[in-house]
Amino acid sequence: MKANSQRVKGKNFRPLNGKPLFRWILDSLLSLEEIDQVVINTDARDILAENGLVESERVVIRDRKAELCGDTVSMNLILADDIHNVPAETYLMTHTTNPMLSSETIRTALASYQEGVTKGTADSLFTVNKIQTRFYRADGSPVNHDPDNLIQTQDLEPWYEENSNLYIFSSGSFVETSARIGKKPILFEMQKLEAVDIDTLEDWMMAEAVANMRKKQEAA
């Protein structure tokens, strides 16, 4: 969790529908008994404290090393540092910028991962958006369809977009690939409204709209 962000200034601590952005995903994680501990890797311990968050039995705040700070540092390097310092059998990684990711989806993804590991068919999991639409290259040439034979988009081969919401893996899988996605990953499909990843102001407005819609649904 960075103190600064390039396109939406201070977004990790900016209020979203009544509470700081970071609290959305943190509350979802802490509501799950399957998660023993939440580790926050950050250069913003003081800002977290100003927003009422300090370390507890289930929340560990790790000060991000100076060499791991900056917008161009690979997340895999930050994860490697956490894994080295926080031993565990299973790691689940998400971002502050995924406020709509629900505890129900996290629980289901964990169960899917554990089933895959038990069967020997998977070593990791990451969330995706399923896309079935017509793609073109910059020169106008088609990528995944035949313009002379227009079939329904729902009949096109589905493509899967990594949506950066959730990753589950073991230390062994991470060591083998030096990455959060292993050699036998499960592609776990999410609903698009839940998969909002805030990177731009437009993303922020989308998250606000979804949060307001949820609030109305809960009040109904």
* pTM of the complete model: 0.93
- pLDDT surpassing 90 at residue 116: yes
Q: How high is the mean pLDDT of the chain?
A: 95
- pLDDT surpassing 90 at residue 124: yes
Distance CA 86, CA 88 (A): 6
What fold does the segment set 11-219 form as a domain?
Spore Coat Polysaccharide Biosynthesis Protein SpsA; Chain A (3.90.550)
Residue-level pLDDT at 207: 95
Q: Specify the pairing of strand 159-169 against strand 91-93.
A: antiparallel
Residue-level pLDDT at 150: 93
- pLDDT surpassing 80 at residue 7: no
Residue-level pLDDT at 81: 95
Residue-level pLDDT at 215: 87
Burial of 133-159, coded b for 16+ CB within 10 Å and e otherwise, reads eeeeeeeeeeeebeeeeeeeeeeeeee
- pLDDT surpassing 90 at residue 13: yes
Residue-level pLDDT at 200: 93
- pLDDT surpassing 90 at residue 64: yes
Q: H/E/C letters for each residue in the chain?
A: CCCCCCCCCCHHHCEECCEEHHHHHHHHHHCCCCCCCEEEEECCHHHHHHCCCCCCCCEEEEECCHHHCCCCCCHHHHHHHHHHHCCCCCEEECCCCCCCCCHHHHHHHHHHHHHHHHHCCCCEEEEEEEECCCCECCCCCECCCCCCCCCCHHHCCCEEEEEEEEEEECHHHHHHHCCCCCCCEEEEECCCCCCCCCCCHHHHHHHHHHHHHHHHHHHC
Question: pLDDT band for position 9 (50/70/90)?
Answer: confident
- Taking only the tens place, the pLDDT of each residue in 161-178 is 999 999 999 999 999 999
185: Cα within 13 Å, side-chain hemisphere: 21
- pLDDT surpassing 80 at residue 142: yes
Residue-level pLDDT at 5: 82
